Each structure stands twice: as structure tokens, then as C-alpha cells.
Amino acid sequence: MTEQPAGTARVTIDPDFTLGTVDPRVYGTFVEHMGRCVYTGIYEPDHDTADEHGFRGDVAELVRELGTPLVRYPGGNFVSGYRWEDGIGPAAERPRRLDLAWRSIESNQVGTDEFLGWTRRQGLEPMMAVNLGTRGIDAARALVEYCNIPGGTAWSDLRVKHGVRDPHGVKLWCLGNEMDGPWQTGHKTATEYGRLAATAGKAMRQVDPTIELVACGSSNARMPTFGEWERQVLHETYDEVDYLSLHAYYEETEGDRASFLASGAQMDAYISDIVATADHVRAVRRSSKRMMLSFDEWNVWYQSRFPGERALPLEEQPRLIEDTYSVTDAAVVGSLLMTLLRHADRVPVACLAQLVNVIGPIRSEPGGSSWRQTTFHPFALTARHARGSVLRTEVSGPVVETPRYGPVQALDTAATLDEETGELTVLAVNRDQEQHLGLRAALRGLAAPYRVVEHLLIADDDPDAVNTQAEPERVTPRPVPQTAVSAEGELEAVLPPVSWSLIRLTPQR
């Protein structure tokens, strides 16, 4: 018997009030040469499931199930010291390099051609980053030439010589990574970076005019230069770039799970602040161009547990930030995805960082199995079903007091409508840690009565429950059969404490 809720949150869902259209690239992910994301993550030639190219078949299958259409590569902090030429040509002749970003030994056995071949076989769009830390214009435009020109030039002919006849056709490019961060190799001021990004971007477009470019925004909203960095960078790059990046990671601090569950409130404010800054620059420049945003690093990351790269021993394939995620973490990841969807008008691109092992939704063991973390499920189900138009949802009901963000709605929600199929998807998180929450959603303006197809729930009596190699199915989505549309045309559901839900509805035929 379903427990009766202590309170009810009311929502109105109306197809006449939309926030934007879902760009599938908002469900992007990230592969960096860091820890075990590449080696023994996506790539392990000696694994029982490895394909002829050395990539793990079991991980590839989970990547397909995750539903991501886009993968950013090769960094992250790693890219700011990376020589992409080290990762091309005969693998046996490639140099072993010291990676300063994560104090690791990089074998370069996976490089540009291997990674882009993997994305092609997986049906993924690559998002490539160029090194604007230790390198600059010439290396960036040469990499575009190597990847995108069919042949007849020095760099494109070298690609053909390496056995890749057809161009990779990479369309989305990041102009460096987190260049505002003092930890970044080649850290620059906003003006220094902005001028370099503008000139590098212009040269890259001279090679391939069809590419799209992403300029670096702040590493996070706590940076002392936040806001002013964006203003100065956009002043230099506005005419040359298509997107400005945002990065944010969230973790639970001791004794404050309430604020952690409300992390979406900070992400929402962060996006709104960057939109305001970008629109200010547009007004000052009297430009008709609307700057879009690329939230190309986001996730739950327990940074307080990370000793810092300088404290790391020099290793190859070290186990770095392999956080094991709980039900609570899954609810937060689901909530952050909802926040991104509610900003669909300005955030068409986003990347969950990272894909495997390194704070990833997928975990794997060398020579062993791979499995889904708890966070895998809200991401995969949202990517699969939240398509079409994002509908505006106004919530009224119980609130939760948080030390960091003040009062927030106990219900966090988003809704999408697929105009082609008529399917309505409602996403919901109950942020309350103690009480069940009733959900009543008025379905106004829909052409036909709707029925519930399924309600899938991530919840557990223990909000700290996790999936492990020994118990990989401890936390999985489970159906909730009681959820239905009432005779009055309202969706009615009960949401357990600290839970994430996906409810799918279709028109009755």
C-alpha cells in the first residue's frame, strides 16, 4: 500500500507555454585522458570483449544504452598540455609523455584517429578541444586540417597515410579549457585568452568555415573573476564563437544534504547570470547575434575527497576520482538535467563529466566487468524520453529549507512534449528527506485525454544505497503501478523522499 503524502505539490502543464526545444546534444558526455576513463575504461585491448580496435565491447554497449549523442575529448585540464601529434601514426612509435594536469604517464596509444573512429562506430558526434594553454593558433588550425580536409594538403595527406581515408568531419570545437583557472597549464587573463581564442578560432574557420566554436567561460561560479571573465572574453570573441562554456560540480557537505538536493537552484542561477552577461555584451556591441551556452562539464563530484594533482604519485592509468554514487546522488543528477532542460532556449549543448570510471555513470574493472552506477539511470531515461518541446511548469506546494539556498520547492520538475508522437514526459524529484510528496499535475490544453504509460522510480529505504561490482543491480528503476490520470484530467502520483521519477503519458486512442 502506498504511503499517504504529508503534502501535495500542484503543477500546471500546458503545451501553449514552452521554454524551448530539446537539442539532443544536451545529453552529451565527456572523455578525458584522466585516470581510467580511456585506458581500462573505453579502451582495453586485452579485455575479453575488446573489438579489433582495442575498445571494450561491454562498455560500448552501456554507452549505447546511456543514450548520449555527443562526447567531448580529449580534455579537460589534460588538453592544456597535450600535443595532439603524439597520438597519431604507428602506435609503437608514439612517445610516452608526462601529463602535468593529472601527474600521469600518457602512453598515447589512444589518440585522435582511434577516438574518432570509436565515436563513428558508436554513432556519436565528437566535440574536440584544442590546446590553448601551452600551444596556440598553428597547432589548432593544423588539427582541424588533419581532421576535416579530405586530402591534398600536408596534414590531411598524413591522416590518409595513417590509414584514415575519409575526413573525420568534426564540427564542434572547444577553444581551450578553463583558462581562468590558476591550476590550468598556460593559465591566462581574460583579455589574453580572449584574444588568443579569437585569432585561433578565426584560423580554424579559415580551414573549415562550417565548424562551430566554444569559448571558455569561468571554471565555476565561485571564481573571483566570475562574470567579469565572461564579459571580457566575449568582448574579444563575440563575433568568432558560437557558444560560451560553463562548468559546475556539486557535492554534499557534511550535515547539509538539504542544500545538496537543491543543487539545481544554484545551476539555475548560474545559467541566468551568464545569459545576462552575454546579453549585456550583445547590447553593448549592438549585435543581432544571440550567444548560446555549452554546459560542457557538470556532475556530482566529491572534490573534498580529492587530494589535488600535486599530491598524486606518478602513475600510468591511476585510479582518480572514482566516486561511487548513491540514490541521493542520482536524484541530484536527475534534478540537474531538469535544470538544463528548463534552459533549452540557451543551453543546446551539455556534457556530463565523465563517461567511464572518472566520476562516471559507468564503472569498469580491468579485465573484469562493467556496471551502471545509480546516476546512469536518470541520465539514460531522460535522454531516451525527454524529447521535443520543454514545457513551462509552475510549482506550488511544500517547500524545503536549505542552509545554502534558503527555501526551495520540495518538488523539482520538468516536462517535455514530443509533437510527433504526442508523448508527454514528466520528470520529478522529491527533495524532502522525510516525507512522501503528492504530485497533482493539471494537463491543460492537450488535444486528447492522456493515460499513463509508465512511472519509473529511483528510490530506496536507504538513500545512501549504491551499485557495486558485487551488487550491480542494487539500485535500478522500478515501476510504480498506482500512478494514473484522474477522471478530472489530472496526473496523480506519490513520490517517496529523496527520489527521482520519470512518468510517461500518451494520448488515449
Distance CA 84, CA 139 (A): 8
Distance CA 374, CA 473 (A): 9
Lowest mean pLDDT among 62-71, 386-395, 439-448, 496-505: 439-448
Strand partners, 499: 430
pLDDT, tens digit (0-9, with 9 covering 90-100), for 141-179: 999 999 999 999 999 999 999 999 999 999 999 999 999
pLDDT, tens digit (0-9, with 9 covering 90-100), for 8-62: 999 999 999 999 999 999 999 999 999 999 999 999 999 999 999 999 999 999 9
pLDDT band of 2, cuts 50, 70, 90: low
Active site residue 297: yes
Given a cut of 70, whether residue 293 has pLDDT beyond it is yes
Q: Which helix (H) or strand (E) holds 294?
A: strand 292-300
Q: Which of 32, 125, 236, 297 is catalytic?
A: 297
DSSP calls for 39-90? BTTTB-TTSTT--TTSB-HHHHHHHHHHT--EEEES-SGGGGG--GGGGSS-
Distance CA 437, CA 435 (A): 6
Distance CA 2, CA 83 (A): 58
pLDDT band of 309, cuts 50, 70, 90: confident
pLDDT band of 415, cuts 50, 70, 90: very high
Q: Which three cell numbers stand for residue 344?
A: 533549452
| Residue of 313 and 496 predicted with greater confidence | 496
Given a cut of 70, whether residue 381 has pLDDT beyond it is yes
**Cα-based distances in Å from 151 to 155, 159, 162, 167, 170:** 8, 8, 12, 8, 15
Mean pLDDT of 498-502: 98
pLDDT, tens digit (0-9, with 9 covering 90-100), for 470-490: 999 999 999 999 999 998 889
pLDDT at residue number 463 = 97
CATH 3.20.20.80 segments of the chain = 24-385
pLDDT at residue number 487 = 87
Given a cut of 70, whether residue 128 has pLDDT beyond it is yes
pLDDT at residue number 227 = 96
Distance of CA 88 to the CA centre of its chain: 27
Given a cut of 60, whether residue 1 has pLDDT beyond it is no
**Cα-based distances in Å from 244 to 16, 225, 314:** 30, 15, 34
Spatial contact of 318 and 104, defined as CB atoms under 8 Å apart: yes
Q: How many CB atoms lie within 10 A of CB 417?
A: 22
Distance CA 86, CA 93 (A): 9
Distance CA 454, CA 299 (A): 27
Collapsing DSSP states into helix, strand and coil, what is residue 260? helix
Spatial contact of 312 and 318, defined as CB atoms under 8 Å apart: yes
**Paired sense of beta strands 389-396 and 411-417, if any:** antiparallel
DSSP calls for 120-169? HHHT-EEEEEE--SS--HHHHHHHHHHHH--SSSHHHHHHHHTT--S---
pLDDT at residue number 307 = 77
CATH superfamily of 7-17+389-507: Golgi alpha-mannosidase II (2.60.40.1180)
pLDDT, tens digit (0-9, with 9 covering 90-100), for 172-215: 999 999 999 999 999 999 999 999 999 999 999 999 999 999 99
Q: For the domain bounded by 24-385, which CATH number is listed?
A: 3.20.20.80
Q: Which helix (H) or strand (E) holds 261?
A: helix 257-261
Given a cut of 90, whether residue 424 has pLDDT beyond it is yes
Lowest mean pLDDT among 307-311, 361-365, 384-388, 470-474: 307-311
Spatial contact of 508 and 443, defined as CB atoms under 8 Å apart: no
Q: What percent of the chain has pLDDT over 90?
A: 93
Spatial contact of 30 and 353, defined as CB atoms under 8 Å apart: yes
pLDDT, tens digit (0-9, with 9 covering 90-100), for 433-460: 999 999 999 998 887 799 999 999 999 9
Q: Which of 178, 240, 252, 490 is catalytic?
A: 178
Largest distance between two CA atoms of the chain: 71
pLDDT, tens digit (0-9, with 9 covering 90-100), for 226-253: 999 999 999 999 999 999 999 999 999 9
Residues 6+ apart with CB under 8 A from 96: 105, 106, 107, 108
Given a cut of 60, whether residue 321 has pLDDT beyond it is yes
CATH 2.60.40.1180 segments of the chain = 7-17+389-507
